[in-house]
Amino acid sequence: MDFDLTEEQRLLRDAVERLVAEEYDFDKRKAYAQEPAGFSPARWAQYAELGLLGLPFPEALGGVGGTPVETMLVMEAFGRGLVLEPYLATVVLGGGLLLLGGSAAQQQEMVPEIARGRLRLAFAFGERQARYDLADVATTATAAAGGGFVLSGAKGVVLHGDSADRLIVTARTAGGPREREGISLFLVDAQAAGVTVRGYPTVDGLRAAEIAFREVRLGPEALLGPRDHGLDLAERAIDLGIAAVAAEAVGAMSALHELTIDYLKTRKQFGVAIGSFQALQHRAVDMFVALEQARSMSYLATMMAEAEDALQRRRMLSAAKVQIGRSARFLGQQAIQLHGGVGMTMEYKAGHYFKRLAMIDTLFGDADHHLALVAESGGLIDAA
Amino acid sequence: MDFDLTEEQRLLRDAVERLVAEEYDFDKRKAYAQEPAGFSPARWAQYAELGLLGLPFPEALGGVGGTPVETMLVMEAFGRGLVLEPYLATVVLGGGLLLLGGSAAQQQEMVPEIARGRLRLAFAFGERQARYDLADVATTATAAAGGGFVLSGAKGVVLHGDSADRLIVTARTAGGPREREGISLFLVDAQAAGVTVRGYPTVDGLRAAEIAFREVRLGPEALLGPRDHGLDLAERAIDLGIAAVAAEAVGAMSALHELTIDYLKTRKQFGVAIGSFQALQHRAVDMFVALEQARSMSYLATMMAEAEDALQRRRMLSAAKVQIGRSARFLGQQAIQLHGGVGMTMEYKAGHYFKRLAMIDTLFGDADHHLALVAESGGLIDAA
Amino acid sequence: MDLRFTPEEIAFREEVRRFFREALPESIRRKMVDGRHLDKADIVAWQRILNARGWAVPDWPVEWGGTGWTPVQRYIFQEEMQQAPAPQPLGFGVNMVGPVIIAFGSEAQKRHYLPRIRNIDDWWCQGFSEPGSGSDLASLKTRAERVGDHYLVNGQKTWTTLAQHADMIFCLVRTNPRVKKQEGISFLLIDMKSPGITVRPIVTMDGGAEVNEVFFDDVEVPAENLVGEEGKGWDYAKFLLGHERTGIARVGVSKQRIRRLKELAALEPAGGGRRMIDDRRFREKIAAIEVELKALEMTQLRVVSAERQGRSKKPDPASSILKLKGSEIQQAVSELLMEVVGPYAMPYQPDEEGWNEPPIGADYAGPLAPTYFNWRKISIYGGSNEIQRNIVAKAILGL
Amino acid sequence: MDLRFTPEEIAFREEVRRFFREALPESIRRKMVDGRHLDKADIVAWQRILNARGWAVPDWPVEWGGTGWTPVQRYIFQEEMQQAPAPQPLGFGVNMVGPVIIAFGSEAQKRHYLPRIRNIDDWWCQGFSEPGSGSDLASLKTRAERVGDHYLVNGQKTWTTLAQHADMIFCLVRTNPRVKKQEGISFLLIDMKSPGITVRPIVTMDGGAEVNEVFFDDVEVPAENLVGEEGKGWDYAKFLLGHERTGIARVGVSKQRIRRLKELAALEPAGGGRRMIDDRRFREKIAAIEVELKALEMTQLRVVSAERQGRSKKPDPASSILKLKGSEIQQAVSELLMEVVGPYAMPYQPDEEGWNEPPIGADYAGPLAPTYFNWRKISIYGGSNEIQRNIVAKAILGL
């Protein structure tokens, strides 16, 4: 058991932190958000140069063969910088799905392109009626005469769905509307006939899209992973996503906590720094405890993200999502409160961390949703 | 709308508070608890003299014609004194059941005796398998040849069941094991053949009993209230009980909060009164807010205790029980914490308030139980 | 002790409720229900409807247009207005500068300003906070120097709500820097069109622009715009801050938002063919807030009742409890209103005139997350919850 | 970064687990599971079993009987012991006075006391707290006056756990009242059979008598019983208080209590023919604690890992976090263990030798409410949670 980073990991972390410090200050971030895609293509190219876009992929596919620990280090630094680029959508979710479920041909076609920064993906799994239920899939893919499929339906709040070249879409190929079995995944060109993408900003300054599929014709090679049994694959990718946003949230919380401590030390009222007031000190401690508990669960999520035992993996990832959600809400709300008015303004970074943390809670299911999953799975500790 | 007491009510309150102050200090209470019944027969006689035992009863039955407001005043003062006598069991629950459901003959026989302090009752409604579900009644009363009933079953944690002269027992006269319909109430002599009473102290220093009924023969006059439709009657009495313990809890919380504030003002550490530490001040404020919220709900419970609209009455009483439970737990735990070691000792009153408050939460269903009832009934505010 | 309303009070409630039902323009009501931005015209229109009915300033003395209602009637009026839901009258005029002018202003000030406040002919804003003085208000630095028949004002105010619409601002200014900080402060009424005033919006994290910075650069203010005596401004400010009491809990607002929450929970899918209202945990989360709100309503009625008995003429520290619990409840409801739409809290949908794209997800989803963000202010403004705890610790608990 | 145990660590865990399974007397294990009172004989018996195995004092230097384990092994050992569940070795000897004697004691003290601590030949108790000095420990008043070859001790200690069984007490005493309060304190070892010592039990609200007052009335203590130097007692006390770190979270204890809770929830009726474990709300309450506990376990492993890297030789303020969160979790579990039996939390059933009445309700219900009451102490003793927050604010956050 060992929480230490390898030398390579330390170098990676330092490099990404330096990049964020240099290229992602508050004003630059604001400028990136104004670019057409809602993020910076220049930064994306830089990530590719640094090897970040190939981090989790094997060297044979143009990657650098990293583990979830490397992804965690990147996401934590990105969380500190409130980075806007579609790393989660393209590398973690899209790349993860390809590695976990793609055919050799699919992998060879697409993974190196991702690593080079020339292909962006988005994972379209959510639907309006489904809330956080991954198995509630109404989008259908029916077998077409002469092979292939016809895809119809709509996906909602697809993270970075408006800048993706290809979409990975869950669709029902068999079974009743909410059964676990009968779901398959498909690769769909965002430009294909019948695909309508409506992109929009999210309240935290990122981008997402509503996407409609009207009788989109797909070849047989569009199928990603096993036919009718794709839900496990989707869940494995979502678990990678949960581990990634857990690290991102820890980065954001950690930066927000530091910002708050600095404010407590410098803001003066009644002739003294407000950090001298014991009630505020104790609040800051409770925030710190929440942060460290979240950090611990981010490590656990990273460790379990690729675990083979699906029951164990799912409940530990759900547990991590619960802790992240709870810690982020408490820490975020208190950070705004301790800042007072200045924390409420668009001109100050604290509010942006707060908003991003609130949205991370809704990503892949909120804390209540995952608490129910933990409880339904029998909890984390077996009865005597 | 008017929260003021009448002149008579003020006199009553002052009289009971004086009685508690004079006759119920910590050492006297300890001595009363050592008496055979677990409380003081002398105090009971004094309550009778003062008219407290006849408070809610009409003058025609030897009472003084009080309303739930008078009961609230008494219970709040009793809460401050951690009074041990079976006022709740005999006057509020027993007397309440007789007034609400008794025949004229039953009332004339028993109510004046209660008021004179010569008859004590207990309400045996709980069963081991039922937890807090009043309709889960396994005790049976089968019609006997030649009229009357035969009662068999067991009741648990019957408040002051070991000092009662008569028991009021819920039993199934029809219907399936957990149906609302089919429950009737019976008056049973505690000395009757087949009745076994095992009394014991409760962790808060009061008394309760496990009571078994083995083919106890009852005459037809033992039936209290309508046959097969007794659950409404039981619920109305429980609601009177909830209003009473809400007031008792407010009295106990209020005294415990004062004790804590006094401690904060007098206990010195690091050369100053610990009440000068802001973190403890703010804690004391949050306790005060919890207390005032509970007091408000005690008033509401009192106002609603006799409401005719059963749905409204039940959900408001449940809401009051939720607030009382939540406030008492928070305030109680914090009071012990702020006292430090001394709060943990048997020799100091704080711990006794804490224990009584913990047990009030389990009486008539705990906060979680009642929150579920509020939610099931559609909540307190109708949807738009 | 009788906690029911009297028949007269019930009749009054019916009258008020009927008036709100009939007189409140539907377009305004709809915006309130949806939690959308009100523009200046909405607030002015509604205030004038109230004024036409004679209900614009219930708390004022009858001679200046007050209604002479009992505290219970005033409570009912406010509660019904919040539940309608109608906009609150602009507090800076009606509840703040108005009562100060009534209590301390000159006859000329009263005759000029009070009718204009009632009818919102002047839009008022409040110049108290400064960048360096938040909770420590008395440390303010904006100075006013007496030069002949006017004051010369220099300095900066901040967090000035809706200053962009304002005709007038009432300010605390330092007229004497050589005395104890509370004693050198005066209370000035300043025309926002005066040369030297600059208003700069502060955009808040939800994207709204309801607060501003206001800069004063050699602004000339006629001496007759001083309220009361020079150097007594701090006393007037304390009077003003203690004036509003029970409204602070905003029980009616929370009731209305819970109604809205239940309405949305009955519409929102929970996955698996169920609705959010079918989810036991979600129902119990709502119920837990309803219980706290019911308790707060009773607490508020206790304060109102004490006021009716005339037992409490000065600011009641109980109002700090109303603020503490009231803000917690409003914020908790805003959290659930964001949670109820799940992932559809994420899309940012501008709440602007002229925005007519079709909604993303449900048409009600757009304002929910921004309102959650914005309502964090409730525990900050008007004396943060930490300051309220300090007040209760000292004034009630004697710590 | 690899958060899995190594194969060697897993093998070690198996060895430890097997030993506990085989060596822990069933009567003791049963009392631990039921949360019942252990008597002196139980604790002595178990300590001697550990000592026979060579595992009585894992943290000590090998020359004095320590095991030379890595921090991870020590963590595994402690965790498995808590989960067995086995009694913790008497901390006053093994974790408190033992390490102080090793670090600061004379050779004679080491040779005499250390083997006796290992085998619990002496039962030690701790004389730190006094009636007037709780969180402000350095203000203690018990004085020790040097008279020839002995000290004369007068004063009073309180909250002295299990002093009724004790052979020895280690005390902080004031040897010099004329210097700064921290500098006049010395560390004395005192035989509890000395004339002039009186022990008076303090009954706690749960009915237990595990703490005591200890009075010293002209007690003669040989000068050789001074540890280290006169006037350095405060340093030794700080060393002692910082010595125990990760055990403070009691993760293993909470795991074992949650297992017990789930076992009882599967037995306890919930009304309507259901069991408590069928109740979604109750299950989610348990799950919420399990999540916090898992996070705490990981936090503890991070501290252990840092210790292994030798990066943290002095007391780690992270141990304050372990104490804060660990106490909250233990107390939350004790609440649910009381709630699970509903009304059957009420009957008081003495937990005494010779009590053989049939149980009221279920046989497991008796200790649940008293344990909830008793465990309120966890956030009070060993530095209250308020003191822990002060430590973190200062030492980690720099406030």
Size of interface A-C (CB pairs under 8 A): 143
CA-nearest of A352, A351, A355 to A336 is A351
Identify whether C312 is part of a domain: yes
Reduced to 3 states (helix: H, G, I; strand: E, B; else coil), residue C356 is coil
**Cβ contacts (< 8 Å) between C33 and chain B: which residues?**
384
Per-residue pLDDT of D28-42, as tens digits, reads 999 999 999 999 999
Query: Is pLDDT of D73 > 80?
Result: yes
CATH code where residue D268 lies: 1.20.140.10
Which amino acid, one-letter code, is at C365? A
A282 interface with B at CB cutoff 8 Å: yes
D385 interface with B at CB cutoff 8 Å: yes
Identify whether A338 is part of a domain: yes
Number of neighbours of residue B50 by Cβ within 10 angstroms: 16
Interstrand relation of B207-218 and B195-201 (parallel, antiparallel or unpaired):
antiparallel
Q: Are B252 and B295 in contact (CB under 8 A)?
A: no
Output the pLDDT for position D305: 84
D151 interface with B at CB cutoff 8 Å: no
C29 is written with which tokens? 């009501």
Instruction: Tell whether A214 and A342 lie within a shared domain.
Output: no
CATH code where residue D178 lies: 2.40.110.10
Instruction: Tell whether B244 and B372 lie within a shared domain.
Output: yes
Identify whether A276 is part of a domain: yes
Instruction: Tell whether A57 and A189 lie within a shared domain.
Output: no
Output the pLDDT for position B2: 82
Provide φ and ψ at B365, rounded to 5°. 105, 135
Identify whether D104 is part of a domain: no
A274 interface with D at CB cutoff 8 Å: no
The Cα B51–Cα B59 span in angstroms is 11
Instruction: Tell whether C391 and C252 lie within a shared domain.
Output: yes
**Cβ contacts (< 8 Å) between D292 and chain A: which residues?**
293, 323
**Cβ contacts (< 8 Å) between A282 and chain B: which residues?**
279
CA-nearest of C170, C150, C156 to C199 is C156
C310 interface with B at CB cutoff 8 Å: no
C257 is written with which tokens? 């938002």
Identify whether B2 is part of a domain: no
**Cβ contacts (< 8 Å) between C399 and chain B: which residues?**
261, 264-265, 275-276, 281, 284
CA-nearest of C190, C179, C182 to C235 is C182
Per-residue tens of pLDDT for chain A, all 384 residues: 788 899 999 999 999 999 999 999 999 999 999 999 999 999 999 999 999 999 999 999 999 999 999 999 999 999 999 999 999 999 999 999 999 999 999 999 999 999 999 999 999 999 999 999 999 999 999 999 889 999 999 999 999 999 999 999 999 999 998 899 999 999 999 999 999 999 999 999 999 999 999 999 999 999 999 999 999 999 999 999 999 999 999 999 999 999 999 999 999 988 999 999 999 999 999 999 999 999 999 999 999 999 999 999 999 999 999 999 999 999 999 999 999 999 999 999 999 999 999 999 999 999 999 999 999 999 999 876
* Cβ-count burial C161-188 (b if 16+ within 10 Å, e if not): bbbbbbebbbbbbbbeeeeeeeebbbbb
Give residue B38's region: left, alpha or beta (phi > 0; psi -120 to 50).
left
Final residue belonging to a domain, choices C231, C258, C290: C231
Identify whether D95 is part of a domain: no
Nearest by CB to A374, from D260, D291, D392: name it. Answer: D291
- Please, what sign has the CA dihedral across residues A62, A66, A68, A70? negative
Determine the residue of chain D that is closest to B160 in CA distance.
D347
Final residue belonging to a domain, choices A206, A229, A252: A229
CA-nearest of D242, D246, D220, D336 to D288 is D336
Instruction: Tell whether C227 and C251 lie within a shared domain.
Output: no
pLDDT band at D116 (very low <50, low <70, confident <90, very high): very high
Choosing from D80, D210, D230, D244, which is the catalytic residue? D244
Identify whether A1 is part of a domain: no
Please give, rounded to a whole number of angstroms, the shortest distance from the CA of A153 to a CA of chain D. Answer: 34
Identify whether D308 is part of a domain: yes
CA-nearest of A79, A72, A159 to A122 is A159
Write out the H or E segment, with its range, that includes residue B243.
helix B231-266
- Structural domain boundaries enclosing B294: 232-376
CA-nearest of C105, C118, C271, C260 to C189 is C105
Please give, rounded to a whole number of angstroms, the shortest distance from the CA of C188 to a CA of chain A. Answer: 24
pLDDT band at B384 (very low <50, low <70, confident <90, very high): low
Query: Is pLDDT of D59 > 70?
Result: yes
Instruction: Tell whether B252 and B359 lie within a shared domain.
Output: yes
Output the pLDDT for position D303: 87
- Structural domain boundaries enclosing D195: 124-231
Instruction: Tell whether C179 and C313 lie within a shared domain.
Output: no
Determine the residue of chain B that is closest to A277 in CA distance.
B278
Which amino acid, one-letter code, is at D109? Q
The Cα D395–Cα D213 span in angstroms is 33
Average pLDDT of chain D to the nearest whole number: 93
Nearest by CB to B344, from D273, D281, D376: name it. Answer: D376
Number of neighbours of residue B193 by Cβ within 10 angstroms: 9
Q: What is the CA radius of gyration of chain A?
A: 21
Per-residue pLDDT of D278-294, as tens digits, reads 999 999 999 999 999 99
DSSP state letters, A173-232: SSS-TT-STTEEEEEEETTSTTEEEEEEEBTTS-EEEEEEEEEEEE-GGGEESSTTB-HH
Mutation for testing the C interface, residue in D280, D282, D283, D285 having most C CBs under 10 Å: D280
The Cα B140–Cα B176 span in angstroms is 11
Identify whether B384 is part of a domain: no
Distances in Å between the alpha carbon of C110 and those of C32, C103, C106, C169, D183? 33, 10, 6, 16, 69
Helices marked H in D89-211: 91, 98-104, 107-118
Final residue belonging to a domain, choices C231, C262, C281: C231
Which amino acid, one-letter code, is at A231? L
Q: Are A361 and A327 in contact (CB under 8 A)?
A: no
Instruction: Tell whether A111 and A146 lie within a shared domain.
Output: no
Instruction: Tell whether D251 and D387 lie within a shared domain.
Output: yes
Identify whether A144 is part of a domain: yes
Identify whether C105 is part of a domain: no
CA-nearest of B155, D2, C183 to A302 is D2
Instruction: Tell whether A255 and A349 lie within a shared domain.
Output: yes
Distance of CA D306 to the CA centre of its chain: 23
Reduced to 3 states (helix: H, G, I; strand: E, B; else coil), residue C331 is helix
The Cα C312–Cα C338 span in angstroms is 39
Q: Are C291 and B319 in contact (CB under 8 A)?
A: yes
**Cβ contacts (< 8 Å) between B300 and chain C: which residues?**
3, 294-295, 298
Instruction: Tell whether B267 and B184 lie within a shared domain.
Output: no
Cis peptide preceding C269, ω within 30 of 0:
no
C338 is written with which tokens? 């964001």
Q: If contacts are CB pairs under 8 Å, which of residues 320-349 in chain A contact chain D?
A: 322-323
Please give, rounded to a whole number of angstroms, the shortest distance from the CA of D123 to a CA of chain A. Answer: 33
Instruction: Tell whether B255 and B365 lie within a shared domain.
Output: yes
A286 is written with which tokens? 């409770």
Q: Are C337 and C372 in contact (CB under 8 A)?
A: yes
Per-residue pLDDT of D177-215, as tens digits, reads 999 999 999 999 999 999 999 999 999 999 999 999 999
Instruction: Tell whether A129 and A251 lie within a shared domain.
Output: no
CATH code where residue A90 lies: 1.10.540.10
**Cβ contacts (< 8 Å) between C285 and chain D: which residues?**
none
Reduced to 3 states (helix: H, G, I; strand: E, B; else coil), residue D270 is strand
Q: Are C202 and C158 in contact (CB under 8 A)?
A: yes
Distance of CA A130 to the CA centre of its chain: 19
Identify whether B381 is part of a domain: no
CA-nearest of B205, B241, B212 to B370 is B241
B277 interface with A at CB cutoff 8 Å: yes
Interstrand relation of C124-127 and C168-174 (parallel, antiparallel or unpaired):
parallel
Final residue belonging to a domain, choices C171, C198, C231: C231
**3-state class percentages of chain C: helix first, strand second, coil last, to nearest 5:** 50, 15, 30
Identify whether A383 is part of a domain: no
Final residue belonging to a domain, choices B102, B119, B136: B119
Per-residue pLDDT of C140-196, as tens digits, reads 999 999 999 999 999 999 999 999 999 999 999 999 999 999 999 999 999 999 999
B191 interface with A at CB cutoff 8 Å: no
**Bridge partners (DSSP) listed for residue D353:** none
The Cα A200–Cα C372 span in angstroms is 20
Instruction: Tell whether C391 and C251 lie within a shared domain.
Output: yes
Interstrand relation of D168-174 and D124-127 (parallel, antiparallel or unpaired):
parallel
B250 interface with C at CB cutoff 8 Å: no
Instruction: Tell whether A100 and A150 lie within a shared domain.
Output: no
Q: Are B12 and B70 in contact (CB under 8 A)?
A: yes
The number of distinct structural domains making up chain D is 3
Determine the residue of chain C that is closest to D285 in CA distance.
C281
Roughly how many angstroms between the first and final C-alpha of chain D, as a whole number? 32
- Roughly what angle, to the nearest 10 degrees, separates helices C7-23 and C40-53? 140
Identify whether C276 is part of a domain: yes
B279 interface with C at CB cutoff 8 Å: no
**Cβ contacts (< 8 Å) between D211 and chain B: which residues?**
341
A270 interface with B at CB cutoff 8 Å: no
Final residue belonging to a domain, choices A195, A229, A263: A229
Instruction: Tell whether D74 and D169 lie within a shared domain.
Output: no
Query: Is pLDDT of D148 > 90?
Result: yes
Please give, rounded to a whole number of angstroms, the shortest distance from the CA of A281 to a CA of chain B. Answer: 9
* Catalytic residue numbers of C, as ranges: 244
Instruction: Tell whether A331 and A352 lie within a shared domain.
Output: yes
CATH code where residue B189 lies: 2.40.110.10
Write out the H or E segment, with its range, that includes residue C29.
helix C26-34
- Roughly what angle, to the nearest 10 degrees, separates helices C40-53 and C26-34? 120
Identify whether C199 is part of a domain: yes
CATH code where residue A355 lies: 1.20.140.10
Instruction: Tell whether C51 and C177 lie within a shared domain.
Output: no
The number of distinct structural domains making up chain A is 3
Instruction: Tell whether D56 and D187 lie within a shared domain.
Output: no
Q: Are A157 and C347 in contact (CB under 8 A)?
A: yes
Output the pLDDT for position D352: 76
Instruction: Tell whether B109 and B156 lie within a shared domain.
Output: no
Q: Are D71 and D143 in contact (CB under 8 A)?
A: no
C180 is written with which tokens? 């104890």
Instruction: Tell whether C214 and C285 lie within a shared domain.
Output: no
Are C345 and A362 a contacting pair at CB < 8 A?
yes
Give residue B215's region: left, alpha or beta (phi > 0; psi -120 to 50).
left
**Cβ contacts (< 8 Å) between A368 and chain C: which residues?**
281-282, 339
Instruction: Tell whether C43 and C140 lie within a shared domain.
Output: no
Size of interface C-D (CB pairs under 8 A): 6
Instruction: Tell whether D213 and D296 lie within a shared domain.
Output: no
Output the pLDDT for position A384: 65
Nearest by CB to B383, from C72, C263, C292: name it. Answer: C263
**Bridge partners (DSSP) listed for residue C122:** none
Instruction: Tell whether C375 and C270 lie within a shared domain.
Output: yes
Number of neighbours of residue A9 by Cβ within 10 angstroms: 17
Output the pLDDT for position D312: 46
- Give the residue with greater pLDDT, D305 vs A17: A17
Distances in Å between the alpha carbon of B104 and those of B68, B107, C39, D1? 22, 5, 67, 81
